[in-house]
């Protein structure tokens, strides 16, 4: 296996356009082509897939899982276990894009997670990411990058366009209930649902923490939808009161030892990018 320094650096800037930023701010998501090159993705895919495949052994057999468990293998915080994957998760190129889309001067890491939707894997129920996070009023964004070419039939993301404007809809974990309730809300408010469409390895979508999103199941009989995600938060964020068990859990997990009112800056939340800093 290569050492960290021999892996691609992923620091060179991406040519983000003002149209990309406008699309993100209006729609609550943006699709960026070739954020990472084929060679860059291939180098990191090998490491991320090896780690996630090992982690997947801890999962119950597919038929015994609930809807959430059938949606994907979810392996969090890979960067702390492997300094080579750290190079991917803390890549300046991705962090700069996240900052510019959100219109902030810098971003910290919230956490990374691999989301591998197995062949035959179930749909991802509609949900809002930020309802899990003790970060009300904070700008947050998730980068979702396939590590292999994926088609819509393998479970690329659906977004309820413009739904980020609703903000916090209350505690509602990913489940059959979130799917039913948010499906009804999308119809009631008339949000247009847009799928990213087929994506090449290294393309990425970025979605706002409040954008209602989900994904169809993976209809492939053979191919896993291998995806790596990184969640970024405004570098100057302050932790807010955890008003639900899920937010209390995230406070303890991702901001260990910190309290509401403190800067959201534990050792698990390094600066990934700050304007003007090398
Ligand atoms: O990968 C999926 O199916 C869901 C992804 C998601 O919800 C997220 O990254 O916020």
pLDDT tens for the chain, 278 residues long, are 678 889 999 999 999 999 999 999 999 999 999 999 999 999 999 999 999 999 999 999 999 999 999 999 999 999 999 999 999 999 999 999 999 999 999 999 999 999 999 999 999 999 999 999 999 999 999 999 999 999 999 999 999 999 999 999 999 999 999 999 999 999 999 999 999 999 999 999 999 999 999 999 999 999 999 999 999 999 999 999 999 999 999 999 999 999 999 999 999 999 999 999 87
The rounded Å distance from CA 278 to ligand 1 centre is: 31
Please count the other Cβ atoms lying within 10 Å of the Cβ belonging to residue 126. Answer: 25
6 located within any domain: no
Burial of 63 (0-12, 13-18, 19+ CB in 10 A): exposed
Q: Among candidates 239, 157, 151, which has minimal Cα distance to 195? A: 157
CA terminus-to-terminus distance, the chain? 28
The rounded Å distance from CA 277 to ligand 1 centre is: 31
| CATH number of the domain residue 81 falls in | 2.60.120.620
Rounded Cα distance between 127 and 232, Å, is 18
- Number of domains, the chain: 1
Residue 1: predicted pLDDT: 66
On whether the CB atoms of residues 101 and 20 are closer than 8 A, the answer is yes
The rounded Å distance from CA 48 to ligand 1 centre is: 17
244 located within any domain: yes
178 located within any domain: yes
On whether the CB atoms of residues 134 and 247 are closer than 8 A, the answer is yes
On whether the CB atoms of residues 106 and 99 are closer than 8 A, the answer is yes
Q: Which pTM does this prediction carry?
A: 0.98
User: How many Cα neighbours within 13 Å face the side chain of 199?
Assistant: 30
On whether the CB atoms of residues 76 and 132 are closer than 8 A, the answer is no
Ligand 1 shell residues, CB under 6 Å = 71-72, 115, 117, 124, 129, 142, 144, 155, 213, 215, 227, 229
Residue 193: predicted pLDDT: 98
Please count the other Cβ atoms lying within 10 Å of the Cβ belonging to residue 107. Answer: 31
- Strand, helix or coil for residue 127: strand
The rounded Å distance from CA 214 to ligand 1 centre is: 7
Please count the other Cβ atoms lying within 10 Å of the Cβ belonging to residue 130. Answer: 27
216-234 per-residue burial string, b: 16 or more CB within 10 A, e: under 16 = bbbebeebbbbbbbbbbbb
* Structure tokens given for 262: 């403190």
Work out which ligand 1 atom sits closest to the CA atom of 174: 7
Rounded Cα distance between 36 and 18, Å, is 19
40 located within any domain: yes
Q: Could you tell which of 229, 230, 250 is best to mutate to test the pocket of ligand 1, judged by most ligand atoms within 8 Å of the CB?
A: 229
Q: Among candidates 156, 136, 137, 138, which has minimal Cα distance to 146? A: 156
Q: Which domain holds residue 221?
A: 22-254
5 located within any domain: no
112 located within any domain: yes
13 located within any domain: no
Residue 278: predicted pLDDT: 76
- What is residue 33's DSSP assignment? T
On whether the CB atoms of residues 74 and 115 are closer than 8 A, the answer is yes
């Amino acid at each position: 296996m290569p050492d960290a320094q021999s892996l691609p650096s992923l620091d060179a800037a991406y040519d983000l356009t003002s149209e990309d930023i406008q699309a993100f701010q209006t729609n609550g998501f943006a699709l960026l082509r070739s954020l990472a090159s084929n060679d860059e993705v291939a180098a990191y895919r090998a490491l991320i897939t090896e780690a996630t495949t090992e982690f997947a052994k801890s999962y119950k057999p597919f038929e015994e899982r609930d809807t959430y468990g059938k949606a994907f293998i979810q392996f969090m915080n890979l960067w702390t276990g492997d300094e080579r994957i750290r190079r991917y998760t803390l890549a300046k190129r991705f962090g700069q894009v996240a900052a510019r889309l959100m219109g902030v001067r810098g971003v910290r890491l919230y956490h990374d997670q691999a989301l591998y939707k197995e062949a035959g894997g179930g749909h991802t129920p509609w949900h809002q990411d930020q309802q899990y996070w003790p970060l009300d009023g904070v700008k947050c964004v998730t980068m979702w990058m396939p590590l292999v070419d994926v088609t819509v039939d393998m479970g690329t993301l659906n977004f309820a366009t413009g739904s980020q404007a609703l903000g916090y809809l209350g505690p509602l974990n990913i489940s059959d209930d979130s799917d039913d309730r948010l499906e009804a809300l999308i119809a009631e408010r008339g949000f247009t649902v847009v799928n990213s469409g087929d994506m090449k390895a290294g393309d990425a979508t970025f979605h706002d923490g409040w954008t209602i999103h989900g994904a169809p199941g993976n209809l492939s009989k053979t191919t896993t939808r291998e995806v790596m995600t990184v969640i970024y938060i405004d570098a100057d964020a302050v932790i807010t009161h955890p008003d639900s068990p899920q937010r209390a859990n995230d406070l303890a997990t991702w901001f260990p030892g910190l309290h509401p009112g403190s800067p959201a800056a534990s050792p698990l939340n390094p600066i990934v990018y700050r304007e003007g800093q090398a």
